[in-house]
Amino acid sequence: MSRAQEALSPRAGLWLTLLTLVSIPLWLWSLRWLQEDFSGWSALAERYPVRTHELTGSVGPVVVAIQHGNAARHEFNNCRTRQCPIIEVGLNPRGFWLRSTQQSPSPPLFVPWHAVEHCTQLSARLQAAQPDVPAVRIIIQHPDFERACTAATWRR
């Protein structure tokens, strides 16, 4: 028997196997939690559900980020694949929508233009849900979004 085989008892091998079997689902759950709950996507999806809005006017997958108040922003991308952006964006006269090209974050959301407080360089600041909750800024790195957002908020 080699020294490596002697060092790893059958009990230790069993524990390592169990640890591996538990850690993989835990890792996958934590990735989903980061994309949905930690980023604030879930709260936005509750506040801005798609309901009956048609998801038309897609501009394709775009780098999108969410920032709550002055906190760090959470960027949705996956650079392990060839295509980094994982959020598809759509623009229409009533608002803009976001949906993931992967399993998370979900569900998709639809933000009506009237919910946008103001637009600045490739981002929309949404009206605060409550006075004590920091405003949310959605950064969408696409020139068509900036034009549509500016046009929609300028009319008010």
Provide the residue-wise pLDDT of the chain in tens; the chain has 156 residues: 455 555 667 777 777 777 777 777 766 655 655 566 667 888 899 999 999 998 999 999 999 999 988 888 888 887 665 558 889 999 999 999 999 988 778 899 999 999 999 998 899 999 887 888 888 999 999 999 999 999 998 866
Exposed / middle / buried, residue 44 (Cβ in 10 Å: 0-12, 13-18, 19+): buried
Question: pLDDT at position 65, please?
Answer: 92
Handedness of CA 43, 44, 45, 49 (dihedral sign): positive
Closest alpha carbon to 103 in 91, 115, 119, 86:
86
Contact (CB, 8 A) for 88 and 96: no
Question: pLDDT at position 98, please?
Answer: 97
Which residues are CB-neighbours of 126 under 8 A, at least 6 positions away? 111, 115, 116, 117, 135, 136, 137, 138
Question: pLDDT at position 79, please?
Answer: 64
Question: pLDDT at position 102, please?
Answer: 85
Question: pLDDT at position 112, please?
Answer: 96
Question: pLDDT at position 138, please?
Answer: 96
Question: pLDDT at position 84, please?
Answer: 81
For residue 46, CA distances in Å to 2, 18, 56, 90 come to: 58, 37, 20, 19
